Structure 1
Amino acid sequence: MIKLILFCEYFIPEMHREAYHEWVQSHPELWLGIKLLENTEQPGIYVELQSTATIEEAAKLEKERREGRSWNEMIQWVKGNDEGLRIWIFRPVAIND
């Protein structure tokens, strides 16, 4: 089974990071199955990684991420608001030995 990754990236300015972190901690149900990471060299840059089995599932998760779940609540903290959200679907690359 090929695993795809739904990759979301955004920037939370320093003045909003504490509110964002508090919000994330208070809504663990929104992050089930999602790895949420912050850049160590550029604090405030966050990525979300979510595995999917099919391109259809990935597209459904992308649509939901753009239009639902947590995004509507957290948009207030993201630099550039909804235009600051970057979402891509990645698939594995076969490497020949």
Structure 2
Amino acid sequence: MILFCEYVVEEKHRTAFLDWVRRDPSRWEGVEIAENADQPGVFVELRRPLDEAESARIQKERREGRSGWEEMERWVKGGAQGLRIWTFRPVALGADAGR
């Protein structure tokens, strides 16, 4: 599974946001964070939850702004509403298809 979180940080807030990200590396443990090379300010976080329950827990934490995540909402375009979060399941290929 992949938990995918996407948001936009406007140019005027980009430096402050990146400074905040870099200040607490432990917040990003197990997270790959990347910025769109063609659209600066568009960020994604990729996580690999163990199961749907863990994915749901992470989504709830992010959407409710717990554990310090509410701090980043000041830089995200649209605030908490600008946070888009999805969970993707792997697609079975070959002999496992259709199961």
Q: 2:44 is paired with a residue of what secondary structure?
A: strand
Superposition pairs of residues 79-90 of structure 1, within 5 angstroms: 79-90=77-88
Give the ranges of 4+ consecutive aligned residues of structure 1 lying more than 4 Å apart after TM superposition.
none
Aligned residues: 94
Superposition pairs of residues 26-45 of structure 1, within 5 angstroms: 26-45=23-42
Superposition pairs of residues 39-58 of structure 1, within 5 angstroms: 39-58=36-55
TM-score if structure 2 supplies the norm length?
Answer: 0.90
User: In terms of mean alpha carbon deviation, does 23-32 or 64-73 score higher?
Assistant: 64-73
Is there any run of 5+ residues in structure 2 with no aligned partner, and where?
A: none
Tell me the CA shift for residue 52 of structure 1. 1.1
Computed over aligned residues only, the root mean square deviation of the Cα atoms, in angstroms, reads: 1.1
| % identity of equivalent residues | 50
Larger radius of gyration, structure 1 or 2?
A: 2
Post-superposition Cα deviations, 1:43-94, rounded to whole Å, max 9, x if no partner, equal 0000000001111111011111222134200100010111110000111001
Post-superposition Cα deviations, 1:4-47, rounded to whole Å, max 9, x if no partner, equal 11110000000000000100010111100000000000000000
Q: 1:9 is paired with a residue of what secondary structure?
A: strand
